[in-house]
């Protein structure tokens, strides 16, 4: 507990000094660091032993080493005054009496070796062994040796309480009685608290209950408290530092209000040079602009129009900023509109709102054009840069496109009756769907264009939002399967023929034309000679003779092949 208090009062510099310079301090060793925010110049760190009945000698030797190394550090650093508490700890199971013997013995031997003369002269005066030595010591002791606690008493600083300070006659009659102090604790009984006047000095301490309350908090509560303190420090800096250069960029500013009267803040991505600007000062400017707005419900409009990689801040900076900002930024944000998003910005937004800012995911909307903002914010309440408006005019898909391309997963569906000529008979019901509306504007007067009177009272409007996680998982799975099939097809078309052309080991030929058994004998194959043969028969006989010779030759070659294959197989 004392160590934790020491580290907390020493500040983070003391902890960094320990991590960087000391690093390791084993049992019995002593290391010295600077005091940093403490009143002391140095702090000597040591580790006391853990007491075990089986290893008493080892524990005593380690405790001796602690005191000896501490005093060695005192001598090496030239310290004049040192406050050394008991190194042995009851929490480590070390007996108090045994530890006190070792501490006093070590200090005694140290003073005998280093300050022998002073030690031998003064210590007998304060620690007499008998009444005779005490009487002799009184002659050499100073006149003022303090009170019963050894604290020096200064009469001028004593608190004096007069019985009746307004009676001047008592002062004239008896000055000594008037100057005499009164001990209220003795007059009204023994007090259990510290007696007033016994200590000439007193310092104010914090309420111990508050300290216990802080120590009793969990790690999450402590982390939230630290985050709150860090945000307050940034808020204080944002009010004092000069941020006119960032304000001149006009990348973040406040405009009018939406249909519900909530303030609207606009962020222009093209005007934010993330590579050349100081991101920390940009965060301070963000806090300065947003602090008066986030106290209540608000809306943010982000124009992603014509942005490049120079305008995109790192994802790590966005996570850092999201963790630093106070909880009211997330709690009071009712809508975050992204105008002119790209497929890359949609992907980055999905990852950020899924894994980092999941609590605002349902309040982020992607709009294809500026005109889709008019369903939630009146045009006269928006201060839109000129290049954003020109981009909408030049892009025909924004003018003639459907809002379903941006809001296919969230829509407002209103079922309204169609009245007859008498405005009372219901002929049929019509379904009107609007995909570019905020959930708060899912009402008849915002969905229908110029609705007839008495129709909105009979309309049923419902805001629908479907979960696309399953669809996205299935699509990703199908894309992966198709990609694998495509890669396999390329392998069959390109790589497999190249592998098949490689020379293989010797194998028996399989393209055998004719077996020897199928070759007809010469007797049966010899054609019958007729006495009168035409030219056609004569040519056929020649062809048959050649074919028979060819078959005979093939049979011989096949037999030789088999013999060679058998020999090759035997050799293998």
Read off the pLDDT of each residue in 54-74 and give the average, rounded to a whole number. Answer: 87
| pLDDT 10s digits, 443-474 | 787 777 777 767 787 788 888 776 667 777 88
Residue 332: is its pLDDT beyond 90? yes
CB atoms within 10 A of CB 286: 21
Q: Does residue 298 surpass a pLDDT of 90?
A: yes
Contacts of residue 89, Cβ cutoff 8 Å, sequence gap at least 6? 48
Of 14-28, 364-378, 486-500, 533-547, where does mean pLDDT reach its minimum?
A: 533-547
Chain center to CA of 315: 12
pLDDT mean over 201-229: 66
501-513 average pLDDT score:
48
Instruction: Report whether pLDDT(155) > 90.
Output: no
Q: How far is 260 from 443, CA to CA, in rounded Å? A: 13
The class level of CATH for 221-401 reads: alpha beta
Tell me whether the CATH fold assigned to 2-114 matches the one assigned to 221-401.
no
* pLDDT (0 to 100) of residue 436: 60
Contact call for residues 552 and 545 (beta carbons, < 8 A)? no
Compute the distance between CA of residue 491 and CA of residue 439 in angstroms, rounded to an integer. Answer: 51
Reported as half-sphere exposure (CB side, CA atoms, 13 A), residue 246 has a value of: 22
Banded model confidence at residue 503, pLDDT cuts 50, 70, 90: low
pLDDT for position 174: 52
Q: Cβ(189)–Cβ(183) under 8 Å?
A: no
Domain ranges of the chain: 2-114, 154-190, 221-401, 410-466, 470-497, 533-572
pLDDT (0 to 100) of residue 23: 81
Only one residue has tokens 């604790």, namely 185
Q: Cα(2)–Cα(45) distance, rounded to whole angstroms?
A: 12
Q: What are phi and psi of 526, to 5 degrees?
A: -70, 125
Mean pLDDT value of segment 211-222 = 62
* High-pLDDT (> 70) share of the chain, %: 72
The average confidence (pLDDT) of the chain is: 77
d(CA 140, CA 122): 9
Task: Please give the DSSP secondary-structure letter assigned to residue 91.
Answer: T
- The CATH architecture that domain 2-114 belongs to is 3-Layer(aba) Sandwich (3.40)
Distance CA(200)–CA(182), nearest Å, equals 16
pLDDT digits (tens, 9 = 90+) for 346-390: 999 998 998 888 889 889 998 988 988 888 898 899 999 999 988
Residues 6+ apart with CB under 8 A from 432: 413, 414, 416, 447, 448
Contact 111, 103 (CB under 8 A): no
Q: Please tell me the distance from the alpha carbon of residue 376 to that of residue 206, in angstroms, as a whole number.
A: 52
Give, as one character, the DSSP assignment of residue 161. -
pLDDT in tens, 412-443: 888 888 776 666 656 667 787 777 666 777 87
DSSP string computed for 210-228: HHHHHHTS-HHHHHHHHHH
Return phi, psi of residue 325, to 5°: -60, 150
Helix axes 56-76, 96-114, angle to 10 degrees: 40
Cα separation, 398 vs 369, whole angstroms:
6
Provide the percentage of residues in the chain whose pLDDT is more than 90: 20
**Cα–Cα distance between 562 and 510 in angstroms, integer?**
11
Kindly report which listed range (486-500, 510-524, 525-539) carries the lowest average pLDDT score. Answer: 510-524
The answer on pLDDT for 406 being more than 60 is no
The pair phi, psi for residue 403, each rounded to 5°, is: -70, -10
Q: Which residues pair with 417 in a beta bridge?
A: 429
Cα–Cα distance measured from residue 494 to residue 37, given in angstroms and rounded to the nearest whole number: 72
Q: Please report the DSSP string for 131-153 in residue order.
A: HHHHHHHHHHS-S---STTS---
Using CA atoms, how far apart are residues 194 and 293, in angstroms rounded to an integer?
Answer: 52
Other C-beta atoms closer than 10 Å to the C-beta of 115 total 13
Q: What token pair was written down for 283? A: 């965060």
- The model's pLDDT over 125-134, given as tens digits with 9 standing for 90+, comes to 777 888 888 8
Residue 443: left if φ>0, alpha if ψ -120 to 50, beta else—which one? Answer: beta
pLDDT of residue 104: 84
At residue 252, does pLDDT exceed 80? yes
């Amino acid at each position: 507990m004392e160590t934790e208090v020491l580290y907390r009062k020493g500040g983070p510099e003391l902890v960094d000094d320990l991590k960087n310079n000391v690093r390791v301090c084993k049992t019995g060793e002593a290391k010295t660091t600077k005091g940093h925010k403490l009143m002391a110049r140095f702090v000597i760190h040591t580790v006391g032993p853990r007491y075990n009945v089986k290893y008493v000698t080892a524990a005593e030797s380690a405790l001796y080493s602690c005191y000896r190394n501490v005093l060695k550090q005192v001598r090496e650093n030239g310290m004049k005054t040192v406050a050394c508490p008991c190194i042995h700890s009851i929490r480590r199971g070390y007996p108090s009496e045994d530890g006190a013997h070792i501490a006093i013995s070590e200090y005694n031997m140290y003073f005998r070796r280093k300050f022998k003369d002073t030690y031998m002269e003064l210590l007998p005066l304060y620690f007499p062994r008998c009444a005779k030595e005490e009487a002799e010591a009184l002659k050499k002791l100073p006149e003022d040796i303090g009170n019963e606690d050894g604290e020096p008493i200064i009469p001028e600083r004593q608190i004096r309480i007069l019985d009746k300070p307004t009676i001047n006659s008592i002062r004239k009659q008896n000055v000594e009685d008037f100057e005499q102090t009164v001990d209220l604790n003795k007059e009204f009984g023994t007090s259990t608290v510290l007696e007033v006047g016994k200590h000439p000095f007193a310092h104010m301490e914090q309420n111990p209950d508050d300290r216990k309350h802080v120590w009793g908090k969990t790690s999450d509560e402590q982390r939230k408290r630290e985050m709150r303190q860090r945000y307050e420090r940034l808020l204080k800096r944002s009010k004092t530092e000069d941020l006119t250069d960032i304000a001149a960029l006009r990348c973040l500013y406040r405009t009018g209000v939406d249909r519900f009267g909530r303030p609207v803040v606009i962020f222009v991505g093209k005007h934010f040079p993330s590579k050349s600007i100081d991101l920390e000062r940009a965060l301070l400017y963000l806090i300065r602009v947003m602090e008066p707005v986030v106290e209540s419900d608000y809306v943010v409009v982000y124009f992603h129009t014509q942005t490049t990689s120079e305008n995109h801040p790192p994802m790590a900076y966005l996570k850092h900023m999201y963790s630093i900002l106070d909880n009211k930024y997330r709690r009071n944000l009712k809508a975050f509109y992204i105008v002119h998003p790209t497929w890359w910005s949609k992907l980055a937004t999905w990852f950020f709102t899924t894994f980092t800012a999941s609590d605002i995911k349902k309040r982020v909307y992607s709009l294809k054009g500026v005109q889709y903002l008019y369903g939630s914010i009146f045009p006269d309440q928006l201060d839109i840069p000129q290049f954003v408006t020109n981009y909408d005019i030049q892009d025909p898909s924004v003018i003639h496109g459907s809002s379903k391309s941006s809001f296919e997963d969230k829509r407002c569906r209103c079922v309204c009756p169609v009245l007859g000529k008498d405005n009372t008979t219901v002929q049929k019901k019509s379904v009107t769907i609007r995909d570019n509306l905020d959930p708060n504007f899912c009402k008849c007067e915002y969905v229908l264009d110029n609705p007839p009177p008495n129709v909105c009272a009979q309309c049923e409007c419902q805001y629908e939002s479907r979960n696309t996680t399953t669809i996205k998982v299935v699509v990703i799975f199908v894309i992966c399967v198709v990609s694998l099939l495509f890669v396999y097809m390329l392998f069959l078309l390109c790589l497999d023929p190249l592998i098949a052309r490689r020379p293989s080991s010797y194998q028996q030929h399989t393209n055998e034309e004719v077996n020897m058994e199928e070759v007809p004998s010469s007797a049966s194959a010899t054609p019958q000679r007729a006495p009168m043969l035409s030219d056609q028969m004569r040519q056929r006989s020649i062809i048959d003779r050649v074919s028979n010779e060819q078959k005979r030759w093939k049979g011989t070659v096949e037999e030789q092949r088999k013999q060679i294959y058998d020999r090759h197989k035997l050799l293998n």
